[in-house]
Structure 1
Amino acid sequence: MADRLPTVIVTGAARGIGRGIVQHLEAQGWRVAALDLHFDDDGPGRQVRCDVSDESAVRAAFGALADMLEGGLDLLVNNAGIADPETGPVEELALEEWNRRLAVNLTGPFLMAKHAVPHLRAARGAIVNISSTRAMMSEPDSEAYAASKGGISALTHALAVSLGPEVRVNAVAPGWIWKGDPSELSETDHAQHPVGRAGTPRDIAEAVHHLARAGFTTGQVLTVDGGMTRKMIYAE
């Protein structure tokens, strides 16, 4: 790693949290491969179109990045996912919609890890999965999303045990991450967080970067939510 720039693959990299991670790691000197189904512009990173729920597409993406992966992969960030948590009442939730959420949000990280492992072992690299505080707490009508993110937390510790000591595996569980202008939120929106504001993609990017370097940390889920999951809320 001393003779080359560290290399990272980020899925779901075209916008939001994924784009923030790509921008942050590039600024820190990483070579970044940005995977997504749709790119709106020539943004940061080397762009590769990939449906992470399709193993043939994942295999093709690693083939397209073969030159970049010579010498190994230092970090895989599994961020791709269907972000909208609400799917309506469970008694009306179509099996197709349930399966689609799990395919992208949970099977995708499994497939990416599966095909990345040889490259990660070569560099003694790391995986950071993006979970959610919704793996631990819920609003109504979000069963598929919550199940997929709960699965990410379990997949994280299972991979950490299976792949150690060569590869470390951790996760970040974001809370409310606002992708737009923070001024568009109300004072109440910000004030309900113990830190006094909603989160930004940069907050998650910094957490990912920390876990990429945290050599004595594996199998963990780092909650990055401004303290919201530690705050008691009772209706008066």
Structure 2
Amino acid sequence: MATVGRFQSKVVIVTGGCNGIGSGIVKVFREHGGNVVIWDIDDPPLHAIDDYSADEMRKLMDLNFIGYFLAAKYTLPHLRKTKGAIVNISSITSTHGQRLATAYCATKQWVLPGATNTALMNAFITSDEARQEFEDMSALRRLGEPEEIGHVCLFLATDATFIIGQEIQSSGGMSLGTAYQYRS
């Protein structure tokens, strides 16, 4: 049952909606009355750029770039009729980089989540000290939650009728300064 009907009886397609930030987006849109369609495939492995083959890089580009293009191309006729919106998710790594994610960074744009509590993020966290380092990158000194990114998407799909072609950072203040500046 929806808690608030901001997206009541509207359809949302969430690519990557089975895990991580995508599942947070699904949860938020369902809570707000949306009819959710999930498109998802398994995430490709991430490794150092010199360990990628050309074929692996093409697959990553197909997933993170061509996939967005095709989803937009084939949903636009309906979106034009219904005055719908497209909200694309990216990663703060598209502007701030990240170890073992150079190729991934090159394929991303749009809503830019910072360090978010997902299985993918937790794969980079190998100790309590590593977790603290990621938390200290945020002015809020914590990881974001997938549902927090979902609320940004809900805002962009419902209320932000004059925001077009922008990168929206949802990073807990990660871009306010250098990493670790908030550590005491």
- For the superposition of Structure 1 and Structure 2, which TM-score range results when normalised by the shorter chain? 0.7 to 0.9
For residue 195 of structure 1, the aligned residue among 116, 137, 140 is 140
Post-superposition Cα deviations, 1:155-213, rounded to whole Å, max 9, x if no partner, equal: xxxxxxxxxxxxxxxx3111111126x9x964554333101211110110011011112
Structure 1 residues 162-173: aligned runs within 5 Å:
171-173=110-112
Residues 89 and 141 of structure 1 are in contact (CA less than 8 Å); yes or no, is this contact kept in structure 2? yes
Post-superposition Cα deviations, 1:80-138, rounded to whole Å, max 9, x if no partner, equal: xx475x43243x43101111110111110101001001110011110000111111121
Structure 1 pair 218/108, CA: closer, same or farther in 2 (3 Å)?
same
Q: Which residue of 2 is the match for residue 177 of structure 1?
A: 116
Aligned equivalents of 2:93, 2:140: Cα separation in 1: 19
Structure with more contact order per residue of length (Cα contacts < 8 Å, sep ≥ 6):
2
Q: Which residue of 1 is the match for residue 18 of structure 2?
A: 14
| 1:119 to 2:58 alignment | no
| TM-score normalized with structure 2 length | 0.79
Structure 1 residues 21-40: aligned runs within 5 Å:
21-37=25-41
Cα RMSD (Å) of the superposition? 2.5
Between the aligned residues of both structures, percent identity stands at 33
Residues 44 and 60 of structure 2 are in contact (CA less than 8 Å); yes or no, is this contact kept in structure 1? no
Q: Report the 3-state secondary structure (helix = DSSP H, G, I; strand = E; otherwise coil) of the residue aligned with 1:127.
A: coil
Per the TM alignment, residue 233 of structure 1 is displaced from its structure 2 partner at its CA by: 4.1
Aligned equivalents of 2:117, 2:44: Cα separation in 1: 12
Point out where structure 2 has 5 or more consecutive residues left out of the alignment: 1-7
Point out where structure 1 has 5 or more consecutive residues left out of the alignment: 39-81, 154-170
| TM-score normalized with structure 1 length | 0.63
Per the TM alignment, residue 28 of structure 1 is displaced from its structure 2 partner at its CA by: 0.4
Q: Which residue of 2 is the match for residue 76 of structure 1?
A: none
For residue 211 of structure 1, the aligned residue among 146, 149, 156 is 156
